Structure 1
Amino acid sequence: MRYLLTFVMLAVLAVPAYAAFEGPNSGGQSMGGFQGPTGGVQADTVKKAQSSWDDAPVVLTGNIVERLAGSDDKYLFKDATGQIIVDIDHEIFAGRTVTPQTKVRLSGKVDKDMMEPVKIDVKVLEILK
C-alpha cells in the first residue's frame, strides 16, 4: 500500500513538468498540437484590456516576454500597445514550448482586483506563425 501511494504521489507531482514557458529562468519541450488559422477572432490590445471591466472577455496577440519572479503561472505579456501580467495555468501550455520570440494569441478574461495591477486570466493559448 505504501509503494502504491508513493507511486501515485510521484505521478501526480510530475504532471505539471510536461508543460511550460521557455524563456528566462525556464525550460520546456515541444509536444505538438494543432497549427492553423483561427476564424472569426476579434483581437484586442493590452491598452484596451487595462481599461476594460472585470471579467470582460479579451483576445490578445503578442509575446510572453518573461515569467514573473516568485510565481509558477504569472508571466509578462507584451504587444504593440504595452505590457500586462497574464495568469497561465500549466495545463494551458499543453506541453507546447513558448519563448519570448514566439508570437501567441491569448484568449481569456480581465481580472481586476482592488489594490493589484490588472491581469488577464488566460483560458486558451495559440501559437502563431
Structure 2
Amino acid sequence: MNKTIIACLLAAPAIAAYAQYTGPGAEAAATTVKQLLDAGKDDQHVVLRGHLVKRVSDEQYRFADNTGQVLVKIDHKRWPAGQPVSDASTVELTGKYDKEFVGTSTVKVDEIKVIQ
C-alpha cells in the first residue's frame, strides 16, 4: 500500500508537466467541418476553428467554418470564464464527434478557446 502511494506521488509531477506542455507538437491539427461530416468517425477527437453563429437551444449551437456548419453541444461549465463569445469571435473547439446514422450528428465540446 505504501509503495503504491509513493509511486503515485512520484508520478504526479510528471503527469502535470505533460499536461502543461505547449511546445512543438502540443497543438492538435484542426479538422474542417467538411472533413468531419464526410469522413468523421463516431467518438473521434476533433479540433475545430471557426465561429459559433447561432444558439439553437440551451446547450446547442451552430458552428461554422469556411467549409460548412455542424451542431455543437456546449455544457455551461465549458465556457471560458470572463471572456465573452459572439458570432464574430473566432474560437477553437476541442471535443468529441458524436456521429449519428439516423438524426443529427454533433460535436460534444470539452474546451473552448477564444482566438480573436
TM > 0.5 fold call: yes
Contact 2:40 2:99 (C-alpha < 8 Å) held by counterparts = no
Q: Which runs of 5+ in 1 are unaligned?
A: 1-37
- What amino acid is aligned across from residue 58 of structure 2 in structure 1? D
Aligned partner letter, 1:67: R
| Residues 10-35 of structure 1: per-residue CA shift (max 9 Å, x gap) | xxxxxxxxxxxxxxxxxxxxxxxxxx
Secondary structure of 1:99's partner? coil
Residue 81 (str. 1) matches residue 67 (str. 2): yes
Q: Does 1:118 align with 2:83?
A: no
Partner of 2:28: 41
* Structure whose CA Rg is larger: 2
CA distance in 2, matches of 1:114, 1:44: 20
Residue by residue over 1:27-65, the C-alpha shift from the partner in whole angstroms, topping out at 9 and shown as x without a partner, is xxxxxxxxxxx9423111001111311000110000000
Q: Deviations over 1:87-106 (max 9, x none)?
A: 00010004331100000000
**Match in the other structure for 2:86:** 99
Cα distance in 1 between the residues matched to 2:87 and 2:102: 28
Q: Which amino acid aligns with 1:78?
A: A
Rounded Cα–Cα distance in structure 2 between residues aligned with 1:115 and 1:54: 13
How many matched pairs?
91
Match of 2:5 in 1: none
Moved over 3 A (4+): none
Percent identity over the alignment is 36
The one-letter amino acid paired with 1:88 is I
Gaps of 5+ in 2: 1-23
Matching of residue 63 in structure 1 with residue 68 in structure 2:
no
Q: Distance in 1 between matches of 2:88 and 2:80?
A: 19
SS in 1 for 2:70: strand
CA RMSD of aligned residues (A): 1.8
SS of the residue corresponding to residue 116 of structure 1 reads coil
Q: What SS does the corresponding residue of 2:77 show, helix, strand or coil?
A: helix
Query: SS of 1:91's equivalent?
Result: helix
Paired amino acid for 1:81: T
